[in-house]
Chains A and B, each alone.
Chain A
Amino acid sequence: MRLRERKSLDAAEGDMTPMIDMTFQLIAFFMVLINFTDADQNARIRLPSSELAKPADSPLETPITLQLTSKGTVLIAAEEVPVEGLKPLLLRERQILDAIPGKSAGKATIVIRADREAKTGLVQKVIKACQESGFERFALRAKQQVRDT
């Protein structure tokens, strides 16, 4: 009797249950924390940091993200253009927005993700190009971080 029992224990593989429990826990953890919404973020841009830059409570209305690199080029959607070449693209955005009912360029927010070493003059040029294309709301993006100065 005893012998037979031992035999059945030998035949059993190692107990998988705790391992599978842990693995599912890990999967659930990473699934919850994963964030796909950062598709508009670019690793080339090192944002300036500010202690007051709290993530917005509600998402912006019709955000258009412009990324200004330290070299002085602008990334809009998948294109990289110099600041001077930005206007045709913005006018195109505007036409698209105006064609959609309920949306307009005046309501859209231009999110400017400028590199911390970008020249302020270029940021202002970008803002000017946007203004001339009919956009008026801007958001300067910064990383939330406490700085000790």
Chain B
Amino acid sequence: MKVRNAGKHDDKVEIMMTPMIDIVFQLLIFFIMTFKIIAPEGDFNIKMPLAAPSEGLPDDNQLPPMKVRLRATDSGRLASIQLGQRTLPDFKSLQMQVRDIVGDDRGPGSVAASTEVELDCDYKLRFESVIDAITAVSGYVAGDGQNIVKLIEKIKFSAPRPEA
């Protein structure tokens, strides 16, 4: 009896499902719990050596930087945008102005490649307005909504304004 039983059991070797399913569910729960959707992030590159370029020898190919002045209200919201001497209503028109200045010429030696934008911001201004300004001058999304047309890539900050 014993022998027959044992022999029969050996013949019917079954894969043990339960531990495998346990582990599989554990893995599944782990990955679900640690999963989070994050918005992709990107960088705006800014090269700012300590020695101010304006103090060095002026480069002949270097146009004077476009000055963008951002003023802030007391609460830090954007009060006004100025490009050179002109006051602009919003970032859209700032972008239009930059597009007019830069034109369609691209590549080395073009206006877009040699112009520099200098951002002059109030101390209290919120950082998001700075990013908006950088977005406006550095490029725009082309009409098809896919490609990015680059405008000015050289961006720097002017000397910080004192805390008012």
A interface with B by C-beta (< 8 Å): 13, 16, 20, 23-24, 26-27, 30-31, 33-35, 38, 41, 47-56, 60, 68, 109, 111, 114-121, 123-125, 127-128, 131-132, 136-147, 149
Q: In whole angstroms, how far apart are the Cα atoms of A107 and B143 in the complex? A: 36
B66 contacts the other chain (CB 8 A): no
Complex contacts, A123 vs chain B, CB 8 Å: 127, 130
Question: Are B24 and A20 in contact (CB-based, < 8 A)?
Answer: yes
Shortest Cβ gap from B15 to chain A (Å): 10
Chain B residue total in the interface (Cβ 8 A): 53
B1 contacts the other chain (CB 8 A): no
Mask: chain B, 127-150; 1 = CB below 8 Å from A; 0 = not = 111111011001111000000100
Judged by DSSP, the binding face of A is mixed
Q: In whole angstroms, how far apart are the Cα atoms of A144 and B123 in the complex? A: 25
A-B contact pairs, 20 of them (CB 8 A): A20-B20, A20-B24, A26-B31, A27-B28, A27-B31, A31-B31, A52-B42, A52-B44, A52-B148, A60-B43, A119-B125, A124-B121, A127-B48, A131-B48, A138-B48, A140-B43, A140-B134, A142-B44, A143-B40, A144-B39
Total CB contacts across the A-B interface at under 8 A? 169
Question: Are B47 and A137 in contact (CB-based, < 8 A)?
Answer: yes
Shortest Cβ gap from B9 to chain A (Å): 14
If A128-B160, A136-B49 touch, does A23 touch B28 (CB 8 Å cutoff)?
Answer: yes
Considering the complex, give the chain B residue whose CB is closest to the CB of A50.
Answer: B135
Mask: chain B, 48-78; 1 = CB below 8 Å from A; 0 = not = 1110000000000000000000101000100
Question: Are A139 and B44 in contact (CB-based, < 8 A)?
Answer: yes
Question: Are A34 and B31 in contact (CB-based, < 8 A)?
Answer: yes
Question: Are B34 and A119 in contact (CB-based, < 8 A)?
Answer: no
Complex contacts, A127 vs chain B, CB 8 Å: 46, 48, 157
Q: In whole angstroms, how far apart are the Cα atoms of A55 and B43 in the complex? A: 7
